[in-house]
Structure 1
Amino acid sequence: MSMLKALLDRRRNTELALPDVRAAHACASWLVGYPGDDLIERLPQLGEIAAGLDPRLGEPLARTARALASSDVLELRSLYVDTFDTRRRGCLFLTYYSNGDTRRRGMALVRIKDTYRRAGLEVPETELPDHLTLVLEFAAGHDAAGGMKILTQNRPGVELLRMHLEAISSPWHGALEAICATMPPLGDVDIEQMAQLAADGPETEEVGLDGYGADAHNLHPASRPGPTGCGSATEQPGYGPGTVPGTGPTQGRTVPEGMREFPLTPARSEGASS
């Protein structure tokens, strides 16, 4: 346990300036999204923003921006799908790590969606609310404390994702490094949960997410994960390279009066069509 803690307890600074944290979350939300045309065009701008941030946040973000910019676009898109949509260790749906495919996950998803609704935001019907890009965008543009709470509640999964991306020398590792650097120091409970999760993996139940539909404000069925929740994207309709989770079309949804459509940026609904 002490060796694991020594490995994971990197310097986390709670004195980072809030504007830097929010800007880092905004940049990371773009960088971890599907590399559609909008993202590719914005990479120079994201690199410029990263250069103006605290080095603990800006340097890893800039590293990811450079890596993406120097990659062949088609190869990058294929790598994205392979990294995040076909491997459970690369799952971008945060509650999967902490709850697996259990009834608890359904309720965790409902709580996150309700958090967005209290801020006047409506999650598109084709999105799951725990996708990392949505959580980061919420923290950056709406409720920094609320977004950070979602991240810290799912800290073990975020850290394990960072470690996995580092282990495979992923170009997206820098973005996860920056995200983790925005959070408070790891505690003993975090370390224990990470060790258990790394050893045993997420829990599974035959019930899957059946309880989610009844309590999640009519989430569109096409957005629900399959039996595994993560790592089986290529086996599910609409979850292949043409329609990556978090990037799919959102036609036909109804936004309640007084709500603003979410996410803020259209990149994830446009990029996958390329």
Structure 2
Amino acid sequence: MDRTFKSLSVILSYPTKELQGAISEISAVLMSDPRLTAANRRALVPLLTELEQDDIYDLQERYVGLFDRSRTLSLNLFEHVHGESRDRGSAMVSLVETYRDAGFDPVTVELPDHLPVLLEFLSTRPLAEAQDTLADAGHILEAIEQRLQGRDSTYAPVFASLLQLSGAKVDQEAVAELMKEPETDPEDLEALDRVWEESEVRFGPDPNAGCPQVRDMLAKIDQPVTPATAAE
């Protein structure tokens, strides 16, 4: 189990009280990973501090405003390359088969291409495979990072960290193409309704199960995430 990928998966998930209670353990993992530069680790501190100390409702509102109200910041990766086309459905089916072949069964109602779900899966795979997968999505990750930087969001360093972990050189032409997509004003509810008027296909077990719980994610970690074990 790669606990850095697991930790990044958790902090990109919808904020909950369980997440807040796990931040010190998550921080220990991230701050001790030599694959991340010192600058990357320092850049993650403001987000980790916010997630641990800020009011949970403020955290949830900011999260929804960022990731759920704009397609250009969607954590559903295929959204950025396929939109609502049939190609997205085919890609989704292929990804589900990849998960099943590896014996991976995420406990979530999120789509298979949801970045936290993908990172949880990658945490169970060999590093080279995880890096190749992240490299394939490198242009998407960088485009999201740039947009988050434009909003002065503390989530931006998470995407910088993923790009560093991938070890890939990103196709800047592909990034530029994604950046042509206009931003959506998260306060313009009528525009948001138009953007999201097509319902999503759910691949999860129960569409009424509510938001994914961090404790379900943490339960799959093979050992407790503590400063002592993180340093080993």
Which category of TM-score, normalised to the shorter sequence, fits these structures?
0.7 to 0.9
Q: In the TM superposition, what are the counterparts of 1:119-158 in structure 2 within 5 Å?
A: 119-124=102-107, 126-158=109-141
In the alignment, what sits opposite 1:194?
175
Structure 1 unaligned spans of 5+: 1-18, 202-207, 214-218, 224-237, 249-262, 268-274
**How far off is 1:184 after superposition?**
2.3
1:25 aligns with 2:8: no
Residue 121 of structure 1: SS of its match in structure 2? coil
* CA distance 1:182–1:101, shift in 2 (3 Å): same
**How far off is 1:143 after superposition?**
4.3
**How far off is 1:147 after superposition?**
3.5
In the alignment, what sits opposite 2:89?
106
State the distance in 2 between where 1:200 and 1:35 align.
27
Residue 166 of structure 2: SS of its match in structure 1? coil
For residue 155 of structure 2, the aligned residue among 172, 179, 183 is: 172
* CA distance 1:62–1:121, shift in 2 (3 Å): same
* CA distance 1:76–1:154, shift in 2 (3 Å): same
Partner letter of residue 64 of structure 1? L
* CA distance 1:220–1:264, shift in 2 (3 Å): closer
Instruction: Report how many residues are paired.
Output: 200
Partner letter of residue 191 of structure 1? Q
**How far off is 1:82 after superposition?**
0.9
State the distance in 1 between where 2:76 and 2:62 align.
18
Partner letter of residue 182 of structure 1? L
* Cα contact 1:95–1:154 (8 A) shared by 2: no
In the alignment, what sits opposite 2:229?
none
State the distance in 2 between where 1:170 and 1:145 align.
30
TM-score (norm 1): 0.63
1:46 aligns with 2:29: no
State the distance in 2 between where 1:198 and 1:104 align.
21
String of CA shifts for 1:233-261, please: whole Å, max 9, x gaps: xxxxx7xxx945xx28xxxxxxxxxxxxx
Q: In the TM superposition, what are the counterparts of 1:196-235 in structure 2 within 5 Å?
A: 196-200=177-181, 219=203
Query: Greater CA deviation, 148-157 or 170-179?
Result: 148-157
In the alignment, what sits opposite 2:224?
none
* Cα contact 1:102–1:209 (8 A) shared by 2: no
In the alignment, what sits opposite 2:57?
74
* Cα contact 1:64–1:171 (8 A) shared by 2: yes
In the alignment, what sits opposite 2:77?
94
Identity among equivalent positions (%) equals 22
1:36 aligns with 2:16: yes
Query: Greater CA deviation, 142-151 or 43-52?
Result: 142-151
**How far off is 1:220 after superposition?**
5.4
* Cα contact 2:31–2:41 (8 A) shared by 1: yes
Residue 93 of structure 1: SS of its match in structure 2? coil
Partner letter of residue 32 of structure 1? L
State the distance in 2 between where 1:209 and 1:147 align.
30
Residue 113 of structure 2: SS of its match in structure 1? coil
Partner letter of residue 172 of structure 2? I
RMSD value, Cα: 3.0
* CA distance 1:47–1:124, shift in 2 (3 Å): closer
**How far off is 1:129 after superposition?**
0.7
TM-score (norm 2): 0.74
String of CA shifts for 1:86-133, please: whole Å, max 9, x gaps: 111220001111211111111111111111111112245723111100
State the distance in 1 between where 2:204 and 2:162 align.
29
